[in-house]
Each structure stands twice: as C-alpha cells, then as structure tokens.
Copies of this chain bind each other. A is one copy, B any other.
Amino acid sequence: MQECLSASEQEYLKTVLLVQQKTGHVTIQALAARMEIKPASVSAMIRRLAQDEDAQGAYVMHTPYQGVTLTRRGEKVAMELLRHQRLLELFLATTLDMSWEQVHDEAEHLAPFISEDLEERIAARLGHPARDQHGDPIPSREGIVDLTDDMPLSALEVGMQAKVVRVPDEDPALLRYLATLGLIPGAWITVEARTPYGDILTVRMGEATHPLAGEVARGVSISAMSRRSAQASLEEQERKHEKFLT
C-alpha cells in the first residue's frame, strides 16, 4: 500500500493534476512547458507512469498523440504531494514569517522529502487547516479535496457579490499586486461592470473599485455559497441593523 515513487515521479503526477485542473486537457507539451523539461523526456516518463509493472495499477492513462489522465492511484500520489506542499507553505508562512513567494519555492523543494509523521505534526500544529494562505485547498490524508463550493470570480454576474476564497500563487508579482488591491482570501468582492470588449471586469472591494483582466479573474476563486446579488446583500445589512436596534 505504501507508494514509493521518486521525487521526480511525484512531481510529474502533481503537474498532471494541476494542468488538468487548469486547462481540462493534459498534453505532453503542457507538462513540458510547466516543468521546463523537454517533451522527449516527459514522453518517456509518462510512458513509465502509464505502465503497470507491479500489478498494482498504473499512475496515468496515456493515449499516444492524445492526452494524459490520472488514474485514482496517480491522483492519490499527486494529492499527497500537494498536501505536503500546502501544509509546508502555511507552516513556513505562519511559523517563520516567510513571504508568500518564498514560501512557495521552499515548500515545493521540501514537499517530497518530509515524512508522514512530520506532515501529521505540522497539520496538527496548524489545526488541520482546509486551505493554505492563498486559499489553495489542502487535500485530506486520503487524497480527497472538495472543490464543489469553489467557482471562478470570472463567472460572477454583474451586480453579484461573493467572498474570495483563493488567489493564484504561481506568480509572486501578481500575488503582491492583488494584495495591494486587498484582493485576498476572505475579502468580499462585488462585480460592478464587465466590458463587452477587452475582457475586463470592474470589481468593488469596500470603497475602492478596480479593473481586473479576465485572465486574472479566471484565476481567482470565490465561494459559490457566498454568492448573492448586491441588493440581497444590502437587505441583509438592513436586517442586521434592525436586529441590532431591537
């Protein structure tokens, strides 16, 4: 039952998962680009991960010239690594005050090497968190993550309000920019307008409004549960106020 893959193999499986989540289709090229490895090498590794040597099942399905899909077994490995990575991110950020972007690289380096016990102790110390500091969900020890409640900010209609639950953590500069806007997990955001051309969303956070590129808006997640019209939101406030008066 104990998976014993190399750091490199785990890295590949993780990337398959992330590319799948981001684009819906995993090509050799996409993996190569993301990992900064030549397609020939990726091809070879995927072939290996698609083989079922130990009769325990393969890690990926691969139809040559088509695409790559994770099997449940491969997905578990990927989730496991993501769990390590995100627990480490949060731990380094909270316990050692490392900056967001630094944390990302350090956690990525260390993730394949921490023991299950250290993982568990970090998780316990952090109170078994469900998300890291950018809102990236932390998979359970069983390799499960529930994202049914997440949707992209870009899917919000004009006039709707919702709570930000996740920002993209890949680009440090973007992360810093979003932070200056106050666009961080936990913030409430209202979509004020959407341009017909150029794919720009105007969003309100508190008093300030900001234009947001569609590309960026698609990378930010909001909680579907928190979604409501700005009108409804005002009425809610009203109700609270009344309650307060009585």
Q: Chain A: residues with CB nearer than 8 A to chain B?
A: 92, 95-98, 102, 105-106, 109-110, 113-115, 117-118, 121-122, 125
Q: Tell me whether A121 and B98 are in contact (CB under 8 A).
A: yes
Closest to A124 in B: B96
Min C-beta distance of A15 to chain B, whole Å: 19
Across the interface, A106 reaches (CB within 8 A) one of B109, B115, B125, namely B115
Q: Say whether chain A's binding surface is mostly helix, strand, loop, or mixed.
A: helix
Give the distance to chain B from A154, nearest Cβ to Cβ, in Å: 35
Q: Are B121 and A110 in contact (CB under 8 A)?
A: no
Cβ-defined contact, A98 with B113, below 8 A:
no
List chain B residues, Cβ under 8 A from A121: 96-98
Asked if B98 and A118 make an inter-chain contact with CB atoms under 8 angstroms apart, the answer reads yes
A96: chain B residues at CB < 8 Å are 118, 121-122, 125
The answer for the CA separation of A105 and B114 in the assembled complex, in Å, is 11
19 contacts between A and B (CB under 8 A): A92-B118, A95-B95, A95-B125, A96-B118, A96-B121, A96-B122, A97-B121, A98-B117, A98-B118, A98-B121, A102-B117, A105-B115, A106-B115, A106-B118, A109-B113, A109-B115, A110-B110, A110-B113, A110-B114
